[in-house]
Chain A
């Protein structure tokens, strides 16, 4: 009958949240979709730290589809009037919920912790609504990485990781000539979009990327540069093996790991996969940014929902402080493959790819080439992102011409705005 007690407890907790009953220690209920491997371990660290402060942690993991199921649950919870304390929510999604008046701000914690000083400004602005922090970032993922298999590259006679798309194409041709798969890729809309945005950055540069994929400038979306980007994406499609449809990204990473494929273009969560398999960067796998000299930013964050009751609000504030603490940022990101969102955390214990990421990040901030990821919900509202994903994945899975794709994309974006 222990189970019944647990159910009762869960029910009691939710009732307490409703009634706003206060207890001495803080309580948080965290809705997230980090349910496995390094990510789950990373969340476990946060839980441990929170409980060490005397708080009660209620875990609400909902995996699947990059949080689609979790977003469904979140809507139901907000509609019902009992939102979770903190939700793994990112990018413009934060603003959308803030506009509904569904969020609490943690500005006092942010001021006490000097968040403005330690976060990249581009990221800080995403975390704020009307000048106040409503969310706290846990990490920075770089999206524009190429992962290479030294073994496959050697077999094909490719000497260095490519730095331009021309070099990439030449290397891919060599890999195919050697009977290997040139590009390991999983055919899911978000993965197709990941390829697309790295190509746009490489072909058009950071300014064009920002105009087209962030500001959604119609002229940029219809430009020849966009056509050229689709041409390059079509080339990449040719380098992918026939069985790619529906494949999970980590299976594609596995293909690079085993030397079956030469490259994978994927964010640095792929590194977590390599590290988990005991591979060493520089020896067993190579990392290099995709062409374009930019930095496509992806960041996970926890957003604070409008809960009531002293106990919940206290828990919320403690959680916000813990998330932004340098210790947590270090532990979490070593487990997840990303780098800390705080730029002042020393990276001595991190691997070479992470260090490279950190340097490039600082340089990108300096040169204003830091751009938010469209594919990973950092740049545009989900409605617009959805149109991008539909079109790009349609292009990838058909023989649509680049010119057609450009026109249809611009039309679709207009429709969604």
Chain B
């Protein structure tokens, strides 16, 4: 009787771990197991389909000898940096402005937020039209009589990546706004009052007092935006198809092209491994420091 009780108590004590263990197991298998599988494939002769013959670093040599790969990496850095920075800036600006007792806030907020509901495929298709010199903005301005106006970023290899940023910011900045607005709403009015009494101007109030309080919001927002940036695949495919040429290729599209269009699974796995290592190098220290802070 007593031992049964003790067993029950022990079970009860261990229950949280038991509940979490499937999550843990699922992550281990479906995330880390698959990452290991991919890493292994990158050292094999895999082509059309996985092939488990060991091939050393040959796939990595081929990867780093491919000019297109360098373009993809450069684009990832340009895109991620600009996308996160601009989305954060717009998100904060709009959140602060919306927080100024705007009467039709609900409507405006919905307008800012709705792009997130659309799939990247839809976003890409629409922006492709708007930015296309022969169909969209440029033609409209020409029709208005300004013949010399030119806006050809979409078809210009040097600028096309910025059109991807434009469309991505359009889609996600409203979400950043919502996160910051929510953060601002959880800041106590008393804090603002105290700041006003101290004679702090609006600029000082926000930059010096309110925004530093929103540190956790930055964490969530950056995680969500970074996740969208790294996975930016659909948008590139729909907006530029990686073009002109391969000027807007990203690691995700590069990997997809090599794995599924070109039957070069080994090179694709090598690129995936490089990409995951980059993500680990950037995200893990950030997660570590942030989790430590919030745990305290």
Contacts and interface: CB of A to CB of B under 8 A. Distances in A.
Query: Is chain B in direct contact with chain A in the complex (CB below 8 A)?
Result: yes
Interface of A: 65, 68, 71-72, 75, 78-79, 93, 96-97, 99-100, 102, 187-189, 242-246, 381-383, 385-386, 390, 393-394, 396-398, 415-416
A394 B244 CA distance: 8
Given A390-B68, A393-B243, 16 more contacts: A65-B261, A72-B256, A75-B49, A97-B48, A100-B49, A187-B155, A187-B243, A188-B241, A189-B243, A242-B155, A243-B155, A245-B154, A245-B244, A246-B243, A386-B257, A397-B243
Nearest to B132: A243
A245 B243 contact: yes
Given A68-B261, A383-B262, A383-B264, A243 B243 contact: no
Interface of B: 47-50, 62, 65-68, 128, 132-134, 152, 154-155, 157, 237, 240-241, 243-247, 256-264
B240 A246 contact: yes
A386 B155 contact: no
Nearest to B156: A245
Contact of A394 (B48, B246, B257, B261): B246
A158 B15 CA distance: 85
Contacts of B67: 390, 394
B37 to A, nearest CB: 11
B262 A244 contact: no
Given A390-B68, A398-B157, A415-B66, A246 B261 contact: no
A71 B244 contact: no
A65 B236 CA distance: 13
B152 to A, nearest CB: 7
Nearest to A244: B155
B262 A382 contact: yes
A68 B260 contact: yes
A99 B46 CA distance: 13
- 7 closest A-B pairs by beta carbon, nearest first, are A245-B155, A243-B134, A397-B245, A386-B262, A72-B260, A397-B244, A96-B48
Contact of B154 (A65, A71, A246, A383): A246
Nearest to A251: B134
A396 B246 CA distance: 11
Contacts of B155: 187, 242-246
Nearest to A93: B263
Q: Which of B49, B67, B262 has the most CB of A within 10 A?
A: B262
Contact of A396 (B128, B241, B245): B245
Contacts of A71: 260-261
A84 to B, nearest CB: 15
Contact of A79 (B49, B243, B247): B49
Given A189-B243, A246-B155, A415 B68 contact: no
B68 A75 contact: no
A383 B241 contact: no
A398 B247 CA distance: 10
A164 B257 CA distance: 36
10 contacts: A75-B49, A79-B49, A93-B263, A187-B243, A189-B245, A245-B244, A386-B262, A397-B157, A415-B62, A415-B66
B244 A382 contact: no
Contacts of B244: 187, 245-246, 393, 397
Contacts of A245: 154-155, 243-244
Contacts of B237: 65
Given A96-B263, A242-B152, A415-B65, A398 B245 contact: yes
Nearest to A97: B48
Q: Which of A72, A244, A397 has the most CB of B within 10 A?
A: A397
Nearest to B247: A397
Nearest to B160: A245
Contacts of B47: 96, 383
Given A393-B243, A398-B245, A381 B263 contact: yes
B234 to A, nearest CB: 11
Contacts of A99: 48
Contacts of A242: 133, 152, 155
A96 B262 CA distance: 11
B133 A243 contact: yes
A394 B245 contact: yes
A367 to B, nearest CB: 33
Q: Which of B50, B62, B243 has the most CB of A within 10 A?
A: B243
Nearest to B242: A189
Contacts of B48: 96-97, 99-100
A386 to B, nearest CB: 4
Contacts of A78: 49
A390 B7 CA distance: 66
A97 B263 CA distance: 10
Contacts of A243: 132-134, 155
B154 to A, nearest CB: 7
B195 to A, nearest CB: 51
A382 B243 contact: no
A383 B247 CA distance: 19
A74 to B, nearest CB: 9
A201 to B, nearest CB: 23
B263 A383 contact: yes
B202 to A, nearest CB: 45
A306 to B, nearest CB: 12
Contacts of B259: 75
Given A393-B243, A393-B246, A382 B66 contact: no
Q: Which of B132, B155, B258, B260 has the most CB of A within 10 A?
A: B260
A281 B264 CA distance: 42
Q: Which of B48, B50, B240 has the most CB of A within 10 A?
A: B48
Contacts of B245: 189, 390, 393-394, 396-398
Contacts of B68: 390
A78 B260 CA distance: 13
B164 to A, nearest CB: 13
Contacts of A65: 237, 241, 261
Contacts of A246: 128, 132, 154-155, 240-241, 243-244
A381 B265 CA distance: 13
Contacts of A382: 261-263
A20 B283 CA distance: 47
Contacts of B243: 187-189, 245-246, 393, 397
A396 B241 CA distance: 16
